[in-house]
Amino acid sequence: MSRQLKTYVSPEDYLARERMAEFKSEYFDGEIVAFAGASREHNLIVVNIARELSSQLMGKPCEVYSAEMRVKAGRGYVYPDVVAVCGERAFANDIFDVLLNPTLLVEVLSESTEFYDRNIKSNYFRTLEPLSEYLFVSQSEYHVEQYTRQSDGRWLITDLRSLDETVDLSPIGCKLSLRQIYDRVDLSEA
């Protein structure tokens, strides 16, 4: 049995390649991870969350980005589905395409990405000092997991499974009902 060797890619080479690439990829410890396409449900959920957050944050010192904003997390670069940053924004360079200080990250989970998002990306998320909260949002059932950093550095998990429940995003002063998150999403099609 042969074993395929992985080629190390430096962070600088990754960023140079990524800025010219036709398709996005993420980067972890010298490895490039290709992105898969997103389903209709995934896209609707991302747009719903970004729309609601943008609306609630209008006039406040916050910005909301969808899946095109790269975030540096530990020794990796990721593209969360939705990112919010409040206060002064910090970028890795003068191209303003690598955010260093997100306040909130959101990942919409699919069958093909759930393991990766939960076990790889979330480990990097927790290393981000300015990060206050991150959400895992299922695209196959009404289910949101909210991870909130506590003052002692531990993470509190809140599990929401009803369309009548609301995610309280107090660090950015927003609330998202599951009904808003799943607006026009027919889970019978998922």
Token pair 């599951």 is found at 178
Stretches where the chain sits below pLDDT 70 are 1-6, 189-190
Token pair 């076990």 is found at 119
Phi then psi for residue 129, to 5 deg, are -55, -45
Residue 35 per-residue DSSP state: P
Determine the Cα–Cα distance for residues 110 and 188; give it in Å rounded to an integer. Answer: 15
Domains of the chain: residue spans and CATH: 38-181 (3.90.1570.10)
pLDDT tens figures, 34-80: 877 788 999 999 999 999 999 999 999 999 998 889 999 888 899 99
Rounded to 5°, angle at Cα 141 from 138 and 145 = 45
